[in-house]
Amino acid sequence: MPFLLNSTNQELDLLAKDFINRIVEAASISILKSTTSPYSKPWWNKDLKTLRKSMLYYSRKSKASGYTLYKQELQNAKNTYFNAIKSTKLAHWNKFLEKEDSQSIYKAMKYTKDTIYQPIPSILNSNSKELKSTF
């Protein structure tokens, strides 16, 4: 620590940069990079990406103006984007279900099956007015 008290600003800056570089290096080694799977959104295409960029552009412009300007442009861009997503998903599902193989129906059922499990609610004891999780 006496070194830090007698150091110049330039030496402290170099020490800080070295410290930051070591943290970034350790993070890049230990943190896994996420990659998107081509199967995660098979209906996504370049047209949707362009529409999304347009919607985000008008969203930023509207926010920068204090939400007073670009309202109509933003609303039109949102409607176009979300309607395009809806029609693209519909076309993809229709194409998927039109396959001749018998397994596609079972895959579709698996994809659309609800997997929500709801826990049993707690029981209210009428005498003590407290919740119980068992009898």
Q: What's the CA gap between 133 and 51, in Å, rounded?
A: 50
Per-residue pLDDT band at 134 (split at 50, 70, 90): low
The 10s digit of each residue's pLDDT in 60-101 is 999 999 888 999 999 999 999 999 999 999 999 888 888 777
Residue 132: its H or E element = strand 131-132
Alpha helices (runs of H) in the chain, residue ranges in sequence order: 2-5, 9-30, 46-64, 71-97, 103-112
Contact 51, 77 (CB under 8 A): yes
pLDDT above 80 for 38: no
- pLDDT score of 135: 58
In angstroms, the Cα distances linking 62 to 67, 69, 73, 76, 116 are: 5, 6, 9, 13, 38
The 10s digit of each residue's pLDDT in 93-129 is 888 888 777 777 787 777 777 777 767 777 777 777 7
Identify the three-state secondary structure at position 63. Answer: helix
